[in-house]
Amino acid sequence: MIDLHVHTTASDGTLTPGELVALAREKGLRAVAITDHDTVDGVGEALEAGSRLGIEVIPGVEISVDHKGGEMHILGYYFNPQSPYLLEQLNLLQEYRNQRNPKMVDRLNQLGLKVTLEELEGEAGGKVIGRPHLASLMVKKGYVRTKQEAFDRYLATGKPAYFKKEKLTPAEGIELVTKAGGLAVLAHPKYLKEAAQPQQLAELLEELKGFGLKGIEAYYSAHKPKETACYLELAGKLGLVVTGGSDFHGANKPEINLGTGDGNLLIPDELLRGLKRNE
């Protein structure tokens, strides 16, 4: 078993990188890629834990880029986590978050929900701070019952405390990974509007390939067997590498298990060989 898409406390997961690798070992995983949102801060600790526990740890990252006003997620693998260019670009993404967070906090205060930036930073722990942390804080302070309610009433696109975050373009996101020596992969294609029409998705993938995209995440917790089959077929046609991951977030998404996703996810070990061949 392998899992090439997991989050730690460096972004919005609840396990530290060390705890995550320990859990991977407990569950019998052979390899795990740490793919935190907009940061590689968890990678060093995970690599260290991996060599100590005999689990293969792959440096990864998940970048949110702008796609027609919405979002698209690009996964990066096997880059140099110390690349100055990579770290500088990731700092820029964190800067974009730091521009947005005070606006959301101010708006919530105006709406009578008293939260502070310090409380938000405390809730996040790491440097990548975003809406999931704000939602958790709102639950803790008793303003909403669940994180979903926080999104539905305040934080989701178009809701009163929503503010747009500056993002890279898909080309820039792919370039960020590629220039740092890594492979860029399209995350969870299911969530894209184009996915409803295989032909449209194929056209989008062609465009992304032009920017340097190397792979597609065909195996994913929320993908139905039919969807996975469709993405595998597209990967074959377009010469893209196939990856797979659960999008494990620990207690922040309790329905998703490391390695097995919703319980039905089975990511073939061989995918790792394909990814390495293209490294």
Judged by CB under 5 A, the stretch of 97-105, 152-160, 246-254, 256-264 that binds Fe ion is 246-254
Q: Which is nearer to Zn ion, 18 or 132 (CB)?
A: 132
Is residue 3 within the footprint of Fe ion (CB under 5 A)?
Answer: no
Residue 73 binds which one of Zn ion, ligand AMP, Fe ion, none, with CB within 5 to 8 A depending on kind?
Fe ion
In the region spanning residues 186 to 205, those forming contacts with Fe ion, defined by CB under 5 A, are 187
At residue 71, the 3 state secondary structure works out as strand
Is residue 73 within the footprint of Fe ion (CB under 5 A)?
Answer: yes
Residue 148 binds which one of ligand AMP, Fe ion, Zn ion, none, with CB within 5 to 8 A depending on kind?
ligand AMP
Judged by CB under 5 A, the stretch of 10-18, 104-112, 143-151, 267-275 that binds Zn ion is 10-18
In sequence order, which residues have a C-beta less than 8 Å from that of residue 225 and are 6 or more positions away? none
- Token pair for 169: 């373009």
Nearest to 201 by CA among 245, 167, 232: 232
CB of 132 to Zn ion, least distance (A): 6
Residue type, 239: G
Please check whether residue 243 is in contact with residue 216, taking contact to mean a CB–CB distance below 8 angstroms. yes
In sequence order, which residues have a C-beta less than 8 Å from that of residue 188 and are 6 or more positions away? 73, 217, 220, 222, 223, 247
Q: Which is nearer to Zn ion, 12 or 123 (CB)?
A: 12
Is residue 12 within the footprint of Zn ion (CB under 5 A)?
Answer: yes
Please check whether residue 127 is in contact with residue 39, taking contact to mean a CB–CB distance below 8 angstroms. yes
CB of 178 to ligand AMP, least distance (A): 22
CB of 103 to ligand AMP, least distance (A): 12
Is residue 247 within the footprint of Fe ion (CB under 5 A)?
Answer: yes
Q: Order of strands, edge to edge, in the sheet holding 2-6? A: 2-6, 31-34, 56-67, 70-77, 183-186, 215-220, 241-245
Instruction: Please return the burial class of 249, using the count of CB atoms within 10 Å of its CB with bins 0-12, 13-18 and 19+.
Output: buried
Q: Are strands 31-34 and 56-67 parallel, antiparallel or unpaired?
A: parallel
Is residue 45 within the footprint of Zn ion (CB under 5 A)?
Answer: no
The DSSP call for residue 165 is P
Residue 183 binds which one of Zn ion, ligand AMP, Fe ion, none, with CB within 5 to 8 A depending on kind?
none
Q: Which is nearer to ligand AMP, 87 or 156 (CB)?
A: 156
Q: Which residues bind Fe ion (CB under 5 A)?
A: 62, 73, 187, 247
Q: Which residues bind Zn ion (CB under 5 A)?
A: 7, 12
